[in-house]
Amino acid sequence: MNILYLLTDQLRFDALSCNGAPICKTPEIDKLARNGVNFDCAYTANALCTPARASILTGVYPHKHGQLANMGNFNGVFDCQVLKKKGYPEYLKEQGWKTGYIGKWHLPECGNKDIWSFDEWETEENFEQYLIDKGIVYEMGKSEVQPLEWGENAPFYGKSVLGPEDHHDGWVAERTCRILDKFSMSKDPFVLCAAFHGPHFPYAVPEPYCSMYCPDEVPKWENFNEMFENKPIVQQKELMRWNTAQLTWKDWQRVIAAYWGYCSYIDSLVGKIMEHLDELKLTEDTMIVFSADHGDMLGSHRLFNKGFNMYEEDNHIPLIISCPGKEKGIRQEAFVSIVDIMPTFLDFAGCEIPEEVQGKSLKPLLDGGIPENWRTEIFCEFNGYESTLLTSRMVRTKKWKYVYNPFGDDELYDMDSDPGELRNLADLKGFTHVLRRMKTKMLHCLLEYDDSIAETTTWQSNSYGLFVSKREE
């Protein structure tokens, strides 16, 4: 069994046509879903690139692997960040597997070929050299992106000056095919990750994708008219940071149309890789995993980018696994996390999953059932980034979502009656019993995952002493 991991950056769950995208078409990814298992309740561990990618590699949450924010030293706060845990490439390499990584890395300097045990390793520096070798002078900038009128930091999009084959993601697809050629000549199994840059902003892709969707046809998000009543103040501050407070829905339609074009471009590249896998006669011996590191607000709640909040648009991600010998066309409703990807790889490779790994192998879910001992809630965390040191934690069940904001208002949402998360119920007396139950679930998660935030006396006094009646359970 081989493993091919197709990793996208900032892809919303609902950006795929197989997940209900209203206009955006992703036929190649839809085909993967028809040939495997589509997870309806997959979540990131942290809605920032670097912490999320480290969790994929290590199978533990950011507070355990040490990569708490995106790369860089933000006023010295994250100066000492290093990955503290062993990753799946090392474990599989020890078992005789070929290992490879192509594309966007976005992890610390220490994450290199030698340390991570990759046989094949090509990232951003290799792409830059590729352009130089072709005589292409290129620097992402105003020449190809179109900032909206309110400033340079506004959501931006446009037409790439690079052709489909020379765009970063086109290069990733091509290099992935070449590495597959190499791996196909070996009898050893392989694990290969193709890490696309997109559909992360700036949403600038070549034709025909940049003009594939008409902005006027983009339907309005149901939660676009967010008024931020009884919401953490940081959300309103983000409107100012990205200069989105003045954006109308018509402005957002242009941005979303460009984003969906990027999604369709990625989809075409997935199709190219899958076609090459077929040509090499590897499809029947390879597990295909498709996911994102996190989502994108994209105008939902009038917000842009990702990171600081626990809304579904940021944290709910696509995850599709197509595995030879397993069921096809399944919609799996179990709660799963990106920390589950690493132990899944180890499980299929026949490796023992270390006790310190906090994720669970998804192998038992690939036949459509849900084991009795599977988790009934999902946990996410946030530890700060460039603009704020805001810390938050989220726990979600099928019906309820609770967000603990130590430096702001807590949040409680009824996900059945309010899927757009517009009405914060945390301060309403009629929901006190629900808030108590969700706080207790939160504390259990913090203790289970050894999250130091649980050590605070306020948390223990506010949570351990909560009485939950049988009626309320």
Measured distance CA(3)–CA(185) in Å, rounded:
16
Residues 131 and 48 both lie in one domain: yes
Examine residue 258 and state whether it is found in any structural domain, yes or no: yes
The answer to whether position 382 is within a domain reads no
How many structural domains are present in the chain?
2
Residue 389 within a domain? no
Q: Same domain for 288 and 403?
A: no
Considering the domain architecture, whether residues 181 and 96 belong to the same structural domain is answered as: yes
In this structure, is residue 12 part of a structural domain? Answer: yes
How, if at all, do strands 411-414 and 400-404 pair? antiparallel
Q: What stretches of 338-390 adopt beta strand conformation (E)?
A: 378-382
CA separation, residue 307 to residues 102, 293, 390 (Å): 25, 11, 10
For residue 61, which of 460, 470, 452, 387 has the smallest C-alpha distance? 452
User: 154 and 35, same structural domain?
Assistant: yes
Same domain, 371 and 402: no
Q: Residue 130 contacts by C-beta under 8 Å, 6 or more apart in sequence?
A: 171
Whether residues 364 and 419 fall in one domain: no
Choose one of 310, 344, 376: the last residue of a domain. 376
pTM (predicted TM-score): 0.93
Statement to judge: residues 302 and 199 lie in one domain: yes
- Which range marks the domain in which residue 418 is found? 397-473
φ/ψ of 313, rounded to 5, equals -60, -30
Both 269 and 182 in one domain: the answer is: yes
- Write out the chain's pLDDT in tens, 473 residues: 999 999 999 999 999 999 999 999 999 999 999 999 999 999 999 999 989 999 999 999 998 988 887 765 444 444 445 566 789 999 999 999 999 999 998 876 544 556 678 899 999 889 989 999 999 887 655 556 665 554 555 667 788 888 899 999 999 999 999 999 999 999 999 999 999 999 998 888 889 999 999 999 999 999 999 999 999 888 888 887 777 888 899 999 999 999 999 999 999 999 999 999 999 999 999 999 999 999 999 999 999 988 889 999 999 999 999 999 888 999 999 999 999 999 999 999 999 999 999 999 999 999 999 999 999 999 999 987 654 557 899 999 999 999 998 777 899 999 999 999 999 999 998 999 999 999 999 999 999 999 988 665 455 434 433 444 333 33
